[in-house]
Structure 1
Amino acid sequence: MSRARKPTQIDIARLAGVSQSTVSLVLNESPDDTQIPPATRQRVEDAVRELGYVPNAAARSLKGGRNHLLGLYSFEAVFPLDQRDFYYPLLAGVEEEAAERGYDLLLFTSGERRGLFADGGQRLRVADGCVLLGRHIRRDDLERLVRDDFPVVFVGRRRVEGGELSYVAADYAAATRDVVRRLAGLGHRRLLYLAAMEESEPGRDRADGYRLGLADAGLGHRAERVEAVGVTAAALENWLAQGVTAIVIEPTEDDRVAVALQRAAGDLGVAIPGRLSVALLGDPPSWSPAPRRWSGFAIPRTELARAAVGLLVDRLDGRPGPRTLHLPCPPVTGDSVGEVPC
Structure 2
Amino acid sequence: MAQAPRSPRRRRPTQVDIARRAGVSQATVSLVISGGAASDQIPEPTRRAVLAAADDLGYSANVAARSLKGGRNRLLGLYTFEPVFPTDQRDFYYPFLLGVEEETAAQGYDLLLFSSVTSGVDRSIYAGGANRLKIADGCVLLGRHVRRAELAALIREDFPFVFIGRREVDDGEVSYVAADYVTATSALVAELVALGHRRILHLRAPDDSEPTRDRETGYRHGIAEARLPADHVLIETLDDPADLSADRIRTLVERHGATALLVEPTEDTRLVEALEEAAHAGGLRFPDDLSLALLGDAPSWTPGLRDWTRYSLPRARMASEAVGQLIELLADPASAPRQLSVPCAFVPGDSIGPAPAAPARGARP
Which interval holds the TM-score relative to the shorter structure?
0.7 to 0.9
Conserved? CA contact 1:279–1:337, under 8 Å: yes
Instruction: Please report how far the alpha carbon of residue 96 of structure 1 lies from its aligned counterpart in structure 2 after TM superposition.
Output: 0.0
1:105 and 2:114 matched: no
Matched with 2:278 is 264
Q: Alignment partner of 2:303: what SS?
A: coil
Separation in 2, partners of 1:161, 1:91: 28
Q: What is the root-mean-square deviation in Å for CA atoms of aligned residues? A: 2.6
Separation in 2, partners of 1:81, 1:208: 31
Separation in 1, partners of 2:210, 2:308: 23
Conserved? CA contact 1:131–1:312, under 8 Å: yes
In the TM superposition, 1:1-342 aligns within 5 A as: 28-29=37-38, 31=40, 57-59=65-67, 65-79=71-85, 84-110=90-116, 112=119, 113-219=122-228, 220-228=230-238, 229=240, 230-241=243-254, 242-266=256-280, 269-285=283-299, 287-318=301-332, 323-342=338-357
Separation in 2, partners of 1:291, 1:71: 34
TM superposition score normalised by structure 2: 0.74
Instruction: Please report how far the alpha carbon of residue 297 of structure 1 lies from its aligned counterpart in structure 2 after TM superposition.
Output: 0.2
What is the percent sequence identity of the aligned residues? Answer: 51
Larger Rg: 2
Conserved? CA contact 1:28–1:60, under 8 Å: no
1:280-301, CA deviations, whole angstroms, 9 ceiling, x for partnerless residues? 0001256312341110100111
Structure 1 residues 189, 305: closer, same or farther in 2, change over 3 A?
A: same
Separation in 2, partners of 1:60, 1:239: 57
Q: Alignment partner of 2:162: what SS?
A: strand
TM superposition score normalised by structure 1: 0.78
Conserved? CA contact 1:249–1:278, under 8 Å: yes
1:31-85, CA deviations, whole angstroms, 9 ceiling, x for partnerless residues? 489xxxxxxxxxxxxxxxxxxxxxx7414889xx411000111111223569952
- Structure 1 residue runs of 5 or longer lacking an equivalent are 1-26, 34-55
Matched with 1:37 is none
Conserved? CA contact 1:71–1:106, under 8 Å: yes
Instruction: Please report how far the alpha carbon of residue 143 of structure 1 lies from its aligned counterpart in structure 2 after TM superposition.
Output: 0.8
- Structure 2 residue runs of 5 or longer lacking an equivalent are 1-35, 43-63, 358-365
Conserved? CA contact 2:245–2:282, under 8 Å: no
Instruction: Please report how far the alpha carbon of residue 114 of structure 1 lies from its aligned counterpart in structure 2 after TM superposition.
Output: 4.3
Q: Alignment partner of 2:292: what SS?
A: strand
Q: Alignment partner of 1:309: what SS?
A: helix
Stretch deviating more after TM superposition (194-203 or 183-192): 194-203
Matched with 1:46 is none
Instruction: Please report how far the alpha carbon of residue 243 of structure 1 lies from its aligned counterpart in structure 2 after TM superposition.
Output: 2.2
Separation in 2, partners of 1:170, 1:83: 18
Conserved? CA contact 1:275–1:340, under 8 Å: no
Conserved? CA contact 1:82–1:88, under 8 Å: no
Pairs aligned (count): 293
Instruction: Please report how far the alpha carbon of residue 216 of structure 1 lies from its aligned counterpart in structure 2 after TM superposition.
Output: 0.9
Conserved? CA contact 1:254–1:286, under 8 Å: no
